Amino acid sequence: MLFGRDKKNPIKIADKGVIEWKYTTCGYCSTGCSIEVGLNDKGEAVASRGVGGADVNRGKLCLKGIFEHELFRLPGRGKTPLMRDKHYDPFRKTGWDEALDKVASEIKRIQAQHGRDSFAIVSTGQIMTEEFYTLGKLARGVIGTNNYDGNTTLCMASAVSGYKRSFGSDGPPGCYDDFEHTECLLAIGSNLPEQHPIIFWRLRLALEKRKFPIIVIDPRVTMFAQMADIHLPITPGTDLVLLNSLAHVILEEGLEDRAYIEAHTSNYDEFSKLVKQYDPLTASRICGIDEDTIRNVARTYAKAGAAMTIWTMGINQSTHGSDGVVGINNLNLITGNIGKPGGTSLSITGQSNAMGTREWSSCSGLPGYRALESEQDRSDIAQFWGIDPEFFPKKRGLFQTDIFPAIEAGRIKGLWLIATNPMTSMTNTSRIRKILEKLDFLVVQDAYEDVETNEYSHVYLPAAVWAEKEGCFTNTERRVNLTRNVIKPNADSKSDLWIFSQMAKRFEQGQKMHFPETAEAVFEELRTLSKGRMLDYSGMSYDKIEQQRGIQWPCTDGNETGTPRLYSDGKFQHADGKAKLIPLPFVDNNERPDKEYPFWLNSGRVVEHFHTRTRTGKVGNINKFSPTPYMEMNPDAARELGIEHGNYARLTSRRGDAVVMVQLTQRVPPDMVFIPFHYHECVNRLALGLLDPHSRQPAFKQCAVHIAPATDQQSAAIRNKAARAY
């Protein structure tokens, strides 16, 4: 006899008619999951599945990956290039030749009239490594603008800057396997279960085998905080104070690794002098974490045989983002936790190829972690590309966040945006709108023509997306993984690689240089350039990457596998071979809640959506979880304002206003609200985004707002329904 659920029909997975599976790497987050896309007999992509033999995800995918094959045919995909004279005119369809000719002639006109740097290029962390390399070659070697950067300035710039300051180079030293060895995990400003679900699953796997303490520092009670052994609900923007104080306790109680400090670090005296000022009592009054907890965490961390720190945007997106990263590195250096199994400073990266752009795009320098400031590097690359080294500037130009104000000030007249949507992702979007309207010429190159920023363009170039093309991504643990070409680009859209190399042909200097046609040929070029360098790819090939389901750099020629950890020999990239301990005085310069604007506005992400929803907003099975702009609000605070669960509320900041639905939850304290930044015309109308002085990354997560019930609930509901769009 059958009972209960045995009586019900078992779940049937519909037969999608897959006749072939093709190997790819997920194009959303930086976890780097290997995915196979299933094709039916008509060549249509109909399914996605995790790859069992891949070390990263071991057959698993999160819900974004499971539906990833749907993004090829979503509404709003670009079909053909579009052009218009004024951004408020209707677009007219055009062919590639006309569109590319127009872009090339506008670049030349603007540069001739206003100088080479008056045309800016802003790219992304979401195209392939080969495309990044080719764009860098075009921007630095052909067009020759120094105002060329990526939206990684919104994301990873603080990590890059902090790694360089501490270790002498960028490059995350650790890997996911460190979870298997660590005896203490500290996670700062990272909501791993939602934002990197498969890295989190790897952590859970390690915890099932062996218990070790998890300490989460986040002002919200996130999913991660809920499973932590210790949760520190820190006052926003004050992590540096806590980090200095942890170091204070460790040094005061003699818990440091003296031998490591002496053998592998410099500048100890200056550093120890500064942290003396951050005793736990003083620190507790600034960061809101009590004295005993600070001592307890410091002791737990320092006494663990191996301890590791991971962090994401709660650290990077701050006015002291770069200092926060250095503070984490300081902590790991004084406890001897760099380059050993389970002991590391591991920045969890963000976009699928946030690492690839750092390595190869030439945004902040020249390919392969080379610097514009180095004569040797300039001459090596000039020779390799066959151009005059004097063509290169001798230091990097503006960061993305400084390019927008330079447009405002009239110094930059033309802009090419590639795979980024600042009308939703930058702070103070009403200012961004005015800035985009001010441009003489804007080109938007995106996989979707309905991306909000395209409203302000003169030319739209439709790009192929993800597995409509071929190439590599580098994930959080330096693993280079491959996406094979699965299906043809939608309609007349073209790969970013094709667009860049066609553009190069329209410039005299570009005609003299070699721009390979295929991604694999470009890979060979960057492989050659990587030889003997920290990020050595020379032992890799496409086939080998696919066979091994990703390879971690460095992988030197003749080597079968990659390298899981950096700096295991204690040798760093500073000239003296040592890591630098850096004193970090705290300056509190955030906009803070006050009488007029009494709430902290915090922002970030939810598991089901990716960024500005150009993709996940249109996948029905994903969008249904949160189709409406909303905020998390504490029930006590809401009661005082007469706001109920499901009501609409109006938020006002010194920049603008937004109306959102209210979700009451204890996840946020009474003086804070949290809004996922995925929705257009929402949190970034309000946010301030003060910049970090080293990395120029915006403090997206800290500003002040006023909240009131929306006076007309019904029209607020209608407005928000319209914002759902799909």
Ligand X SMILES: Nc1nc2c(c(=O)[nH]1)N[C@H]1C(S)=C(S)[C@@H](COP(=O)(O)OP(=O)(O)OC[C@H]3O[C@@H](n4cnc5c(=O)[nH]c(N)nc54)[C@H](O)[C@@H]3O)O[C@H]1N2
Q: Tell me how far the alpha carbon of residue 318 is from its chain's centroid.
A: 14
CB 462 within 8 A of CB 493: yes
Size of the site for Mo ion (CB under 5 A): 2
Using CB under 6 A as the binding rule, whether residue 159 contacts ligand SF4 is answered as no
467: which DSSP letter?
G
Of 302, 311, 323, the residue nearest 218 (C-alpha): 311
CB under 6 A: which stretch of 394-402, 417-425, 531-539, 559-567 binds ligand X? 417-425
Tokens (6 digits) for 383: 């020779």
- How many Cβ atoms are within 10 Å of 184's Cβ, its own excluded? 24
Q: Which of 38, 162, 336, 350 binds Mo ion (CB under 5 A)?
A: 350
Nearest approach, Cβ of residue 318 and ligand X (Å):
6
Q: Which of 141, 172, 174, 189 binds ligand X (CB under 6 A)?
A: 189
Q: Which of 475, 677, 690, 704 binds ligand X (CB under 6 A)?
A: 677
CB under 5 A: which stretch of 150-158, 188-196, 377-385, 393-401 binds Mo ion? 150-158
Q: Which of 33, 306, 398, 467 binds ligand SF4 (CB under 6 A)?
A: 33
Q: Which does 447 bind (CB under 5 to 8 A by kind): ligand SF4, Mo ion, ligand X, none?
A: ligand X
Nearest approach, Cβ of residue 451 and ligand SF4 (Å):
20
Using CB under 6 A as the binding rule, whether residue 473 contacts ligand SF4 is answered as no
Size of the site for ligand X (CB under 6 A): 60
Helix (H, G, I), strand (E, B) or coil at 631: strand
Gap between the Cα atoms of 79 and 91, Å rounded: 13
CB 22 within 8 A of CB 486: yes
Q: Which of 39, 51, 54, 61 binds ligand SF4 (CB under 6 A)?
A: 61
**Residues linked to residue 463 through DSSP beta bridges, in sequence order:** 494
Give every CB contact of residue 277 below 8 A, 6+ residues apart in sequence: 244
H or E, element range at 473: strand 471-474
Tokens (6 digits) for 138: 């075009």
Gap between the Cα atoms of 692 and 686, Å rounded: 19
The amino acid sitting at 204 is R
Using CB under 6 A as the binding rule, whether residue 350 contacts ligand X is answered as yes
Gap between the Cα atoms of 147 and 392, Å rounded: 12
CB under 6 A: which stretch of 186-194, 282-290, 302-310, 429-437 binds ligand X? 186-194
User: Of 197 and 593, which CB lies nearer to ligand SF4 in the complex structure?
Assistant: 197
Q: Which of 136, 168, 172, 197 binds ligand SF4 (CB under 6 A)?
A: 197
Using CB under 5 A as the binding rule, whether residue 689 contacts Mo ion is answered as no
The amino acid sitting at 28 is Y
Give the residue ranges of DSSP H helices in 168-279.
192-195, 197-209, 223-227, 239-252, 258-264, 268-275
Q: Which does 200 bind (CB under 5 to 8 A by kind): ligand X, ligand SF4, Mo ion, none?
A: none
Nearest approach, Cβ of residue 281 and ligand X (Å):
21
Nearest approach, Cβ of residue 236 and ligand X (Å):
4
Gap between the Cα atoms of 281 and 628, Å rounded: 43
Q: Which of 47, 51, 55, 65 binds ligand SF4 (CB under 6 A)?
A: 65
Of 630, 669, 624, 627, the residue nearest 647 (C-alpha): 630
Q: Which does 61 bind (CB under 5 to 8 A by kind): ligand SF4, Mo ion, ligand X, none?
A: ligand SF4
Of 21, 319, 333, the residue nearest 163 (C-alpha): 333
**Residues linked to residue 482 through DSSP beta bridges, in sequence order:** 472
Nearest approach, Cβ of residue 471 and Mo ion (Å):
20
CB under 6 A: which stretch of 329-337, 433-441, 442-450, 471-479 binds ligand X? 442-450
User: Of 310 and 412, which CB lies nearer to Mo ion in the complex structure?
Assistant: 310
**Residues linked to residue 184 through DSSP beta bridges, in sequence order:** 307
CB under 6 A: which stretch of 114-122, 151-159, 474-482, 555-563 binds ligand X? 151-159
Q: Which of 83, 103, 155, 406 binds Mo ion (CB under 5 A)?
A: 155
Tokens 């380059």 identify what position? 339
User: Of 30 and 166, which CB lies nearer to ligand SF4 in the complex structure?
Assistant: 30
Using CB under 6 A as the binding rule, whether residue 351 contacts ligand X is answered as yes
554: cis peptide before it, omega within 30°? yes
User: Of 396 and 701, which CB lies nearer to ligand X in the complex structure?
Assistant: 701
β-pairing, 34-39 vs 45-50, is antiparallel
Residues in the chain: 726
User: Of 119 and 460, which CB lies nearer to ligand X in the complex structure?
Assistant: 460
Give every CB contact of residue 573 below 8 A, 6+ residues apart in sequence: 167, 168, 169, 534
Which residues sit at the interface with ligand X, rule CB under 6 A? 29, 124, 126-127, 151, 154-155, 188-191, 194-196, 217-220, 222, 234, 236-237, 239, 312-314, 317-318, 350-351, 418-422, 425, 445-448, 451, 463, 465, 496, 602-605, 607, 609-612, 614, 677, 683-684, 687, 700-701
Which residues sit at the interface with ligand SF4, rule CB under 6 A? 26, 28-29, 31-33, 57, 61-62, 64-65, 196-198
